[in-house]
Amino acid sequence: MAMSDVLVIGAGPFGLSISAYLRHRGIEHTIVGRPMNTWRAHMPLGLFLKSEPYGSAISAPTPGYKIADYARLHKLDDYEDRVGPLSLERFLGYADWFTQQLVPDIRDLTVTSVVRSGDGFKVEFAEEAPIIARSVIVATGMLNYAHLPAELSGMPDLITHSVVHDRLDKFGGRRVAVIGGGQSSLQTAALLHEAGADVQVVMRGQEIVWEQKRDADLSLIGRVRRPPVQLCEGYSCVVYDSPGLFRLMPESLRAKKALSTFPPSGAWWLHDRVVGVVDVLQNHRIVGAEAHGSQVRLRLDGPKRSSVEADHVIAGTGFRVDVGKLPFLSAEIQAALKKRINLPLVNRAGESSVPGLYFAGINTAVSLGPGVRFISGTHSAVPHLAKSVGRRAHRGTSLGEPVAEPLAAPVEPAVAESLPSLEAAGSGPMPTI
């Protein structure tokens, strides 16, 4: 059976960054996954990122690979590093360039199974023969966690999750209801309206929270008042963007902050494309949905309407993060993972309680902080991970600190219930926290 010291599963921002660092350190590894597939196939054409351009750069082991560098090299004269919005098209152009320069050897394979084997892991693929890897890094993002509430399930032709769509222009001339009041739903609604659809947003909240545009320049006093970090600006951002500081918090607080920090809100630049343009029904909860021929009727609980009818419903109902839903980790590995609110506990380097099994990105949020839900998290997490994986590859063992957290205590119901689903795809760090 073929062998690889290290297998990186996933070729999104985290997988790309990890591979770039490992390559730079001369660590033999294999990276598999469809490059930037979440962004290319699961986000609609016309989307803008919510993170600011500088906060959307993927961490690289050497200088010269930020979006600003890409823009300079490609003479994108209208590029502004500090204040966006950054278009999906430009972000993908940047990510493809990053990939060509630093991660040229991705293999488009799908991992179907990871089981422990000796000191390492046996990994199976949908497309070819299995391999043995000493270390495995799971950087598979959050698509596995897309959440459709029970009342909206079971009508796949009429009701879809927002991550299903890479184009919205096919809805032109049709009535579409969009569920949710976060960035993903609001941007979907704006794009649908601009494509000629008749759009109705339905949200539970009393009102949409809009973020403020940040100043184009930050004065010295401004820097003291609101220190800027890769993730956003302000003292809370410093903590949320720094796994070392975040880890000083009591575990119960970390569990609470991991997913609930940065609640749903709309980006400043989206305001005028929604307010007064798209019909938004606030303070209404969906209680059921029924098909009526080729249409769907949503039953509502709220002060104004008891139902809404549409040709199609797009649910911006976010994500329920649960590592138990990863289809490829064996039952034995799942049982050996120490977890908290359904996420693996990892050490500073991202190594879980299963030696040699690392996680990156959203799966590490309880241990490393909410910043790892976003692209900016590659900067705080990946250098430590690559160092630990490198030591392990060279010496055959993990030299990282052991997983220091206590054994997974049962999730306290109050904490579990207070955690919202990641509405709008964690779509957004952004500045105001």
Ligand X SMILES: Cc1cc2nc3c(=O)[nH]c(=O)nc-3n(C[C@H](O)[C@H](O)[C@H](O)COP(=O)(O)OP(=O)(O)OC[C@H]3O[C@@H](n4cnc5c(N)ncnc54)[C@H](O)[C@@H]3O)c2cc1C
Which residues make up the interface to ligand X (CB under 6 A)? 9-15, 32-34, 37-38, 43, 49-51, 56, 110-111, 139-143, 163, 184, 328, 361, 374-376, 425-428
| Nearest to ligand X of 300, 314 (CB atom) | 314
Minimum CB distance to ligand X, residue 172 (Å):
21
- State which amino acid sits at residue 318: G
CB of 271 to ligand X, least distance (A): 16
Residue 34 CB, shortest distance to ligand X, in Å, is 4
Q: Which is nearer to ligand X, 232 or 403 (CB)?
A: 232
CB of 364 to ligand X, least distance (A): 10
Please report how close the Cβ of residue 360 comes to ligand X at its closest, in angstroms: 6
Question: In the bound complex, what is the minimum distance in angstroms from residue 418's beta carbon to ligand X?
Answer: 22
Backbone angles phi, psi at 271, to 5 degrees: -45, -55
How far does CA 188 lie from the centroid of its chain?
A: 17
Closer residue to ligand X, CB minimum distance, 243 or 426: 426
Q: 300, 202 in Cβ contact below 8 A?
A: yes
Question: What minimum distance in Å lies between the beta carbon of 318 and ligand X?
Answer: 9
CA-angle at 69, arms to 63 and 73, nearest 5°: 130
Tell me the closest approach of the beta carbon of residue 220 to ligand X, in angstroms: 27
What's the rounded Cα separation, in Å, for the pair 237 and 365?
14
Q: What are phi and psi of 415, to 5 degrees?
A: -70, -45
Residue with tokens 């410093």: 238
**What's the order of all strands across the beta sheet hosting 159-161?**
159-161, 312-315, 175-179, 198-202, 279-281
Terminal Cα-to-Cα distance of the chain (whole angstroms): 50
Rounded to whole angstroms, the Cα distance separating 151 from 289 reads: 6
Query: Residue 219: is it exposed, middle or buried by C-beta count within 10 angstroms (0-12/13-18/19+)?
Result: exposed
| CB-nearer residue toward ligand X: 125 or 305 | 125
Please report which helix (H) or strand (E) contains residue 340, including its range.
Answer: strand 339-340
Residue whose C-alpha is closest to residue 374's, from 89, 142, 178: 142
Nearest residue (CB) to ligand X, 43 versus 239: 43
Q: Rounded to the nearest whole angstrom, what is the least distance from the CB of residue 37 to ligand X in the complex?
A: 4
Neighbour tally for 191: CB within 10 Å: 23
Closest CA to 31 of 161, 136, 166: 136
Give 347 or 363: the residue with its C-beta nearer to ligand X: 363
- Nearest of 361, 337, 169, 148 to residue 259 by alpha carbon: 361
Q: CB-wise, 50 or 348, nearer to ligand X? A: 50
Q: Which is nearer to ligand X, 35 or 355 (CB)?
A: 35
Beta carbon nearer to ligand X, 49 or 300: 49
Q: Which of 145, 155, 161, 417 is nearest to 288 (CA)?
A: 155
